[in-house]
Structure 1
């Protein structure tokens, strides 16, 4: 599945848009919430990721301000690539 990565006005947030729906409902995840799906669990457990927000075909990943996107993007892309072969929600 092709994922488009888009910057947002917030330098600590990036939007990942998929070709197909990722979720049935709106999601909001922070470090203190244990997600129900393997995809969300894997993303929120990345060191430096602060929160997740998404709906249908996109997910926005918010990072901690001291962490560089260059450190996070390969991990996020790998998780999304792996999840693309499974039902995501």
Structure 2
């Protein structure tokens, strides 16, 4: 196969087919909308303890408390929290 455009199309079809099979069989799964404390911390580059401290001090991202111990973070809220902490270069 000498045509690079045709080769790229072939690779794209193979990757799409592999992803479709992976999602259909459960081998690949999209990230859940709600993350636990450890997952949210990993998403932000923080430890679970750091997440808990920020939550207790009221300075972390928004979260859902479904029960006394069940805390979940929406990915959307984690991204918004990060956006609120953007710093312009040089400051």
- TM over 0.5: same fold? no
Greater length-normalized contact order (CA 8 Å, ≥ 6 residues apart): 1
TM-score normalized by the length of structure 2: 0.31
Q: Which has the higher helix share?
A: 2
